[in-house]
């Protein structure tokens, strides 16, 4: 376990957890523990990756922001979309998983207690604006996942209507790969493929409207889904967070160029400016000013979306 103090001695920063539960897997950001036969504990650390490499320095508040933004969105979607989240409230989690008592500094407010599902191995990406890997392919080929898009699109331009742009769910260390909807149909079958597309488009439309009301553009986002033993499909993992989405401040938006994102953009910009790193392990250290700038971005998107500062936010209860 590595827990360090952020400036001011408050809000411990978690790089790696070590909890008295069986560790199921460790991802770039999340440590996932078994919490009984039907539940998982997903601990969002403050680790940060760029170019698929985990960096040495954690970003203060990052794990808490990811967890609480997901809970905030799911509380708004609860009446319209089934999901896996049981609780993010420390008291409720302790009631269900008493083994965690005494280790709160590692997991409280940064963890989701969730129903255990069988993940569907397709990333359900929805793009309302053309950016990132989609723009790179379009710029050179006029396509996305090999399928033609309309002529005359510009970087960061709005897509009317938004498009469902699925991707493979890559193994750790690999890149997701954009695929066609027909490939999803072939992989999952037509009924499940159409169901996932409908769910993803519906959630994105709600998220984009909500963000727009707050002066934010939700350019794109990705969703994950899983199935229960009875076949029920649930929305799982993080939802419309700065790690799974591109949030652009509307006041700075301008087509024809890349945008200032409310996420780890300061880290990407810094690393892109290094001439002596080949984007492969081992990664370089991040300067303190880059770590702070990134933490500020995460806190800003939380405040702008919820209207509340992270330190004053009271997590919603579910069920």
User: What domains does the chain contain, in order, with CATH numbers?
Assistant: 2-117+270-312 (3.30.200.20), 119-252 (3.30.470.20)
254 confidence band (pLDDT: 50, 70, 90): very high
Q: What angle is formed at CA 177 by the lines to CA 26 and CA 51, rounded to 5 degrees? A: 55
Q: Which pLDDT does position 174 carry in this prediction?
A: 57
Residues 43-80: tens digit of each pLDDT: 999 999 999 899 999 999 999 999 999 999 999 999 99
Examine the pLDDT at 6 and tell me if it is beyond 80: no
* Among the ranges given (4-8, 131-135, 242-246), the one the predictor scored with the smallest mean pLDDT: 4-8
pLDDT value at residue 172: 53
Angle at 76 between CA 71 and CA 79, to 5 degrees: 115
CA distance 239 to 42: 13
14-30 mean pLDDT: 96
Please give the Cα distance from 222 to 278 (Å, whole number). Answer: 27
What mean pLDDT do residues 9-27 have?
87
Q: With 70 as the cut, is the pLDDT of residue 304 above it?
A: yes
Among 130, 148, 132, 145, CA closest to 177: 145
Rounded distance, CA 103 to CA 257, Å? 46
Task: Tell whether the model's pLDDT for residue 2 goes beyond 70.
Answer: no
**Mean pLDDT of the chain, nearest integer:** 94
pLDDT at 277: 96
Q: Given a cut of 70, is residue 292 above it in pLDDT?
A: yes
Q: What percent of the chain has pLDDT over 90?
A: 91
The 3-state DSSP composition of the chain as helix, strand, coil percent (nearest 5) reads 35, 25, 40
* Closest by Cα among 67, 97, 92, 123 to 306: 67
With both helix axes pointing from N to C terminus, report the angle between 62-77 and 190-212 in degrees, rounded to the nearest 10.
110
Can you tell me the mean pLDDT for 180-197?
Answer: 97
Average pLDDT over residues 105-126: 97
CA neighbor of 33 nearest in space, from 41, 101, 16: 41
Residue 25 pLDDT more than 70? yes
Q: Are 113 and 93 in contact (CB under 8 A)?
A: yes
């Amino acid at each position: 376990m590595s827990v360090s103090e952020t400036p001011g001695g408050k809000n411990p920063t978690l790089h790696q957890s070590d909890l008295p539960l069986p560790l199921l897997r460790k991802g770039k950001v999340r440590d996932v523990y078994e919490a009984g036969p039907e539940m998982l504990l997903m601990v969002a650390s403050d680790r940060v990756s760029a170019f698929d490499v985990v960096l040495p320095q954690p970003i203060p508040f990052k794990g808490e922001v990811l967890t609480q933004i997901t809970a905030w969105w799911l509380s708004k979607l609860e009446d319209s979309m089934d999901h896996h989240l049981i609780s993010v409230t420390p008291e409720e989690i302790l009631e269900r998983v008493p083994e965690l008592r005494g280790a709160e500094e590692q997991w409280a407010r940064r963890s989701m207690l969730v129903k255990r599902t069988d993940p569907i191995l397709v990333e359900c990406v929805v793009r309302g604006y053309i950016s990132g890997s989609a723009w790179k392919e379009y710029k050179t080929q006029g396509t996305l996942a090999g399928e033609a898009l309309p002529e005359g699109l510009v970087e960061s331009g709005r897509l009317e209507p938004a498009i469902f742009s699925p991707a493979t769910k890559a193994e750790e260390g690999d890149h997701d790969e954009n695929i066609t909807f027909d490939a999803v149909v072939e992989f999952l079958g037509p009924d499940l493929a159409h169901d996932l597309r409908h769910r993803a488009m519906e959630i994105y439309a709600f998220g984009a409207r909500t963000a727009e009301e707050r002066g934010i553009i939700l350019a794109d986002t990705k969703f994950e889904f899983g199935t229960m033993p009875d076949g029920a499909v649930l929305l799982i993992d993080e939802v419309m967070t700065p790690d799974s989405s591109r949030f652009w401040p509307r006041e700075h938006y301008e087509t024809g160029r890349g945008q200032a994102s409310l996420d780890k953009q300061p880290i990407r910009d810094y690393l892109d400016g290094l001439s002596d790193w080949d984007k492969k392990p081992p990664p370089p250290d991040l300067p303190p000013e880059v770590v702070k700038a990134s933490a500020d971005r995460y806190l800003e998107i939380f405040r702008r979306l919820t209207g509340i500062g992270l330190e004053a936010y009271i997590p919603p209860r579910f069920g």
